[in-house]
């Protein structure tokens, strides 16, 4: 048994039992009292409860420790404090007198949401849900944890806004995930810069899911509506959360990301529907983005696009969608959402497609836009998201004329880009980390190079380095492609092991455990709940690490001969 006292309850890293964590700044002086679960509570004899990281009218999310997978996790607890309570010294959640019906109804909705998210765990912009259980009179679900900061904090630390080329790289996968959730009848209802998390691996993930009742202003639960991002209908009396509400919220997030300010809250826009975009920003945005924002941020749901899939296609400039929307957009030109750049509404011109193409070409050539998301560094201010730990976005660099470039910027640094291809990432960090930020831009499987080997680099080796290329931290940046090792491996022999032991072994071999399915099978010579067999069979070579794995477990407990004999007498 490991010493759990060495785990920081703020980040679940082993800090040797320090009073103040050197990784996240968490202090042992922190107190987590009722109605939240006490620190170091164990659930299911498997999950250790740490600090609460999210809370709303539906429940609480804690950072936790999975003692089977030996990894930090996110643990969501159904705890609707407007209709239920937990007293000091007790773990049980009890509905308030007269609220039993609502509690049970919302609890069932919570469990249904958890099961739906578990079925969708392969989506790239989610924290995969892999365990759901009941305890303490309520329910819980457990999902993967990745170090992160909110999109709101990320933007504040990177000039408050991103260009469209920067934003689309990280935002479009999220929109695709939202579209897939809608196909599965799951609506978020609370998409905002606070529930979109920029993770250490460079992805933005969607957090803060809640049952529909917590996303409307009129229910028995305390609502969580993010001002500027919640749709107008969510403030109404009888409206349910629909995909159109998520479309509005995502459009508002995109507006915040591209413009640098939050949109006005929806109720105030009902009487004053002006949404301004500085002309400099509007002129740099592709026409498809302007149209998509216009349609997504319509106040009336009936005038808004119906789903995230149409939003995604319009953002990417789909000709089919553009034709489908053209008459409607033209019809609305004199109405809402036309004050993008404080100029009269745009009118169709004979050669406007050519003009847009030329503008796009000029902008593409003029702007070198790179999204650099770096690994989190150590923090120590107690907040857990110090500036030094945050991913950063490179400044937009424009083409400079030789006459306007200072001699200092043209000064050649006394070094050239080193050759780091085919080297181990850890070795490169140790050797060059003082002068270079080594940023992982992508990762791919490679049968020729071991996991952790650098496959490609940019700039190329021996490229001259100039003073002007230094970042704000005084370092130069090299972006790399990392090897994930071979995509295939040999199926291990799991016979006789428990399900937990099998999962750990599959993780060690690099398999995606979200693709593991457990089935029951009778086997007379195998211990109860031990592995009987697997598909593919043990020893099978060249098994894709992303393929489906079936584990067969002995499902028949041993017969107690003494009790059987006693019963027959």
Work out the average pLDDT over 150-157.
94
> pLDDT over 70 for what percent of the chain?
80
pLDDT band at 500 (very low <50, low <70, confident <90, very high): confident
- Could you tell me the two tokens for 552? 């067969």
Across 49-58, 426-435, 454-463, least confident range: 426-435
pLDDT band at 180 (very low <50, low <70, confident <90, very high): very high
> pLDDT over 90 for what percent of the chain?
49
pLDDT at 245: 95
**DSSP secondary-structure letter at 186?**
-
326 vs 314: CA distance, rounded Å: 11
pLDDT band at 521 (very low <50, low <70, confident <90, very high): confident
Across 284-298, 474-488, 508-522, least confident range: 508-522
pLDDT band at 559 (very low <50, low <70, confident <90, very high): low
Phi, psi of 327 (to 5 degrees): -70, -40
pLDDT band at 184 (very low <50, low <70, confident <90, very high): very high
Supply the Cα-derived Rg of the chain in whole angstroms.
27
Please determine, for residue 14, whether its predicted confidence score (pLDDT) is greater than 90.
yes
pLDDT band at 325 (very low <50, low <70, confident <90, very high): very low
Question: Which of 138-147, 485-494, 497-506, 546-555: highest mean pLDDT?
Answer: 138-147
Across 135-144, 220-229, 381-390, least confident range: 381-390
The pTM (predicted TM-score) of the whole model is 0.59
SS3 content of the chain, % helix, strand, coil (to 5): 30, 20, 50
Q: Which residues of 155-186 are buried (b: 16+ CB within 10 A; e: fewer)?
A: bebbeebbbbbbbbbbbebbbbbbbbbbeeeb
Angle (deg, nearest 10), helices 164-183 and 243-259:
170
Q: Residue 393 in contact with residue 158, Cβ under 8 Å?
A: yes
3-class state of residue 46 by DSSP: coil
Number of CB atoms found within 10 A of residue 519's CB: 12
Please determine, for residue 208, whether its predicted confidence score (pLDDT) is greater than 60.
yes
Q: Residue 118 in contact with residue 111, Cβ under 8 Å?
A: no
Nearest to 340 by CA among 270, 292, 379: 292
Please determine, for residue 384, whether its predicted confidence score (pLDDT) is greater than 50.
no
Domains of the chain and any CATH numbers: 4-144 (3.30.200.20), 148-368 (1.10.510.10), 400-483 (3.30.10.20), 488-561 (3.30.10.20)
Whose tokens are 């007790």? That residue is: 90
- Each residue's pLDDT tens digit, 224-283: 999 999 999 998 855 678 999 999 999 999 999 999 999 999 988 988 777 877 888 888
- Could you tell me the two tokens for 313? 């296609």
Work out the average pLDDT over 521-533.
88
- Each residue's pLDDT tens digit, 102-118: 999 999 999 999 999 99
Work out the average pLDDT over 285-300.
92
- Each residue's pLDDT tens digit, 300-315: 998 998 889 899 988 9
pLDDT at 392: 32
Whose tokens are 């050239």? That residue is: 416
pLDDT at 378: 35
3-class state of residue 211 by DSSP: coil
For residues 111 and 406, which has the higher predicted lDDT (pLDDT)?
A: 111
Please determine, for residue 126, whether its predicted confidence score (pLDDT) is greater than 50.
yes
**DSSP secondary-structure letter at 398?**
E
Number of CB atoms found within 10 A of residue 222's CB: 13
Please determine, for residue 550, whether its predicted confidence score (pLDDT) is greater than 50.
yes
């Amino acid at each position: 048994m490991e010493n759990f006292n060495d785990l920081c309850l703020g980040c679940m890293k082993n800090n040797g039992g320090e009073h103040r964590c050197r990784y996240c700044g968490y202090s042992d002086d922190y107190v987590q009292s009722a109605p939240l679960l006490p620190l170091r509570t164990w659930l299911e004899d498997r999950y250790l409860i740490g600090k609460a990281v999210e809370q709303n009218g539906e429940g609480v999310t804690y950072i936790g420790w999975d003692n089977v997978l030996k990894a930090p996790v996110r643990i969501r607890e159904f705890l609707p404090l407007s209709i239920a309570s937990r007293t000091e010294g007790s773990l049980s959640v009890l509905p308030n007198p007269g609220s039993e019906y609502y509690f049970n109804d919302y609890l069932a909705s919570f469990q249904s949401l958890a099961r739906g998210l578990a079925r969708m765990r392969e989506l790239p912009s989610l924290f995969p849900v892999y365990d759901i259980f009941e305890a303490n009179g309520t329910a819980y679900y457990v999902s993967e944890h990745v170090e992160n900061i909110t999109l709101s904090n990320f933007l504040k630390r990177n000039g408050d806004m991103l260009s469209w080329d920067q934003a689309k790289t990280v935002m479009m996968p999220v929109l695709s995930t939202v579209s897939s959730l809608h196909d599965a009848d799951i609506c978020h209802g609370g998409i905002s810069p606070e529930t979109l998390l920029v993770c250490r691996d460079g992805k933005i993930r969607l957090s803060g899911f809640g049952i529909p009742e917590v996303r409307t202003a009129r229910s028995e639960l305390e609502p969580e509506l993010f001002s500027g991002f919640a749709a107008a209908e969510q403030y109404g009396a009888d409206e349910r959360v629909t995909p159109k509400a998520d479309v509005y919220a995502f459009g508002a997030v995109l507006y915040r990301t591209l413009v640098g300010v939050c949109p006005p809250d929806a109720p105030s826009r009902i009487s004053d529907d002006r949404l301004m975009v500085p002309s400099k920003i509007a002129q740099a945005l592709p026409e498809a983005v302007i149209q998509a924002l216009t349609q997504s941020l319509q106040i009336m749901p009936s005038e808004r696009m119906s789903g995230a899939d149409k939003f995604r296609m319009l953002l990417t400039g789909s000709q089919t969608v553009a034709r489908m929307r053209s008459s409607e957009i033209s019809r609305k030109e004199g109405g809402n959402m036309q004050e993008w750049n404080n100029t009269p509404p745009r009118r169709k011109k004979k050669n406007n497609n050519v003009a847009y193409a030329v503008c796009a070409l000029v902008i593409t050539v003029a702007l070198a836009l790179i999204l650099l998301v770096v690994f989190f560094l150590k923090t120590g201010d107690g907040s857990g998201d110090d500036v030094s730990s945050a991913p950063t976005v490179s400044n937009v660099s424009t083409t400079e004329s030789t006459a306007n470039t200072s001699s200092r910027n043209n000064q050649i640094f006394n070094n050239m880009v080193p050759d780091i291809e085919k080297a181990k990432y850890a070795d490169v960090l140790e050797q060059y980390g003082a002068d270079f930020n080594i940023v992982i831009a992508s990762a791919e499987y490679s049968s020729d190079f071991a996991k952790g080997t650098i496959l490609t680099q940019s700039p190329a080796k021996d490229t001259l380095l100039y003073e002007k290329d230094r970042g704000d931290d005084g370092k130069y940046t090299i972006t790399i492609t990392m090897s994930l090792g071979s995509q295939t491996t040999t199926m291990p022999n799991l016979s006789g092991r428990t399900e937990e032991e099998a999962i750990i072994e599959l993780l060690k071999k690099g398999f995606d455990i979200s693709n593991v399915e457990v089935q029951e099978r009778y086997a007379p010579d195998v211990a109860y709940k031990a592995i009987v067999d697997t598909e593919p069979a043990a020893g099978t070579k060249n098994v894709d690490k992303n393929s489906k794995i079936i584990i067969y477990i002995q499902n028949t407990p041993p017969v107690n001969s003494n009790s059987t004999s006693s019963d027959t007498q």
